[in-house]
Amino acid sequence: MRALLLLLLVVFACGGCQEDFQAFDCEVEILGSLPPTESTQEANAVLFRVLIPAKASGKYGVAFTTLSRDAVEKKKGMIFKIRRLGKWRHLLTDSPPTRASVSNGEDFFSTAVQK
């Protein structure tokens, strides 16, 4: 139930998410960290923009990470290959959110491979 509530908070914070990742194989650019919403101060989030596939190119995503905000900021501009993001139930948006509400789970960078 908590995971569903957090997912709904992400959708609300995003201003209405458009497309589910499902099983995309993606290349993404790290845009930096996002501050948490007021209700979830404990979770760190990474903001990224999809480069490949073309169907999702230019869309934005948010994911949980165990890295500090400073460590995420140092990865800004780096490109990563991501597989099977759908298992995390992430959604893509047309515009970048300004705050994130993500649940603790699998770290984004634990399966991301830097290009």
Query: 39, 41, 33, 29: which is closest to 79 by C-alpha?
Result: 29
Q: What domain range includes position 92?
A: 2-114
The pLDDT score that the predictor gives to residue 105 is: 75
Is the confidence at residue 9, as pLDDT, over 90? no
Q: Which residues of 83-104 are buried (b: 16+ CB within 10 A; e: fewer)?
A: eebeebebbbbeebbebbbbbe
Kindly report, residue by residue over 67-114, the tens digit of the pLDDT: 998 999 999 999 999 875 554 445 788 998 887 777 777 888 988 889
pTM of the model: 0.72
The pLDDT score that the predictor gives to residue 92 is: 80
**What's the structural domain count of the chain?**
1
